[in-house]
Amino acid sequence: MKPFEYGDGEIGEREMLYVVASYTIAVGVLSIPRTLAEVTNFSDGWLALVITSIFCIFFTGICTQLASRFPNQTFFTYASAICSKPVASVITIYFFIYYMVSAAYQTRFVAVVAKQYLLDQTPAEIIALLFLLVVVYAVSGSRIGVIRLNVLFLPIIVFIVLLVFGMNIPNFEPKNLSPLFTTSLEGYWKGSKESFFSLIGSDILLFYVVFVNRPKRVTKYAMIGAGIPLVLYLLIYMMAIGVFTAGTTATLVYPTIELAKEAEAPGGFLGRIESLFFMIWVMTIFNTASLCLDAGLMAFSSLFQKVKKRTFIFLLTPLIYLIAMFPTNLIEVTVLSNYLSYSAFGLGALIPTVLLLVAKARGIKGNE
């Protein structure tokens, strides 16, 4: 191992693979089979997933090209050089609001699901508060430490998803997948649109590439990281259709949880897989929420550089909690998710593309 890999100021380009994958695999893993089954026929949702993922991987490349063009510079610094400081300030505030609301959304979603399936006697407000405090505790330390938590947790998350997949193979009926390509173009469009928020994760690179010691080599690993959620979501979706059929999957609120309930180890060696799955799923949301909160702090700190990080945390934590608790029911939580999805397109696709095109047109780049 090279010395920088254990330092507090730099990371290797391979860590971006873990960051992008961990940031992307979030609440959507529970519901994406349902959202696709509602708008596509049989197993045609796989094509919508692939199409959306191709675009998301492309925008991941755009974001890494933009960030690596300005080595060792924060997003606000190089955005100011590209489009003036006032415009960069507005964009950075937009990022900050998005990350704070996203962290609140992850917190509320954990509370909703945990109350429904695990802690039915515990108020959702208490579950959300405890989860948020753990996230805040993680973010209060080293930023490199947050990244290394993702490096630690991601292999465990992938293993458990593959375990659930493998244990459902005896329940899988290949005939439920056919016939293929019976969905209309409108159905594919709706499926792609519904899955976009679950697959986009390129925006996080605009804030974390600054820590990479060789940013010119980060594009390949970031794009591989963006492909990992596609593989996992495809496995989960196809298994859900094969086990439950498309019609049944469309009626299940969280088909992935139902898959975990159906999983059985040979000989009953391992029981209640759903409990293990829940534990790992909370770990994935912790990864995403901690990255959102940390990136939001980076965005805000770049505007107010003299204020200490922990002061921001102290002021923002109550605000995040209030946002998390503001929706009164699951329908309003879903509406909040839709707003985040539209914002994700602007922040992870539209804005980076425009900034990169302007930077190339004006010949602006950072010091090599």
Residue from 240, 186, 243 nearest 40 by CA: 186
**CATH number given to 11-348:** 1.20.1740.10
- Digits of tens for pLDDT over the chain (368 positions)? 344 444 456 788 888 899 999 999 888 888 899 999 999 998 999 999 999 999 999 999 999 999 988 888 889 999 999 988 999 999 999 999 999 999 999 999 999 888 888 888 889 999 999 999 999 999 988 888 888 888 888 888 888 888 888 888 888 889 989 888 888 899 999 999 888 888 888 899 999 988 888 877 888 899 999 999 999 999 999 999 999 999 999 999 889 888 888 876 655 555 567 777 888 888 899 999 999 999 999 998 888 877 888 888 988 999 999 999 988 887 888 888 888 888 888 999 999 999 999 999 988 887 65
Give the model confidence (pLDDT) of 238-287 as tens digits: 999 999 999 999 999 889 888 888 876 655 555 567 777 888 888 899 99
Whole-angstrom distance, CA of residue 15 vs CA of residue 28 = 23
Task: Say whether pTM exceeds 0.85.
Answer: yes
Give the model confidence (pLDDT) of 69-83 as tens digits: 888 888 999 999 998
Provide the 3-class DSSP secondary structure of residue 326.
coil
Whole-angstrom distance, CA of residue 177 vs CA of residue 180 = 7
Sign of CA dihedral 270, 271, 277, 283: negative
Provide the 3-class DSSP secondary structure of residue 96.
helix
At residue 11, φ and ψ (nearest 5 deg) are -135, 165
Hey, where are the domains in the chain?
11-348
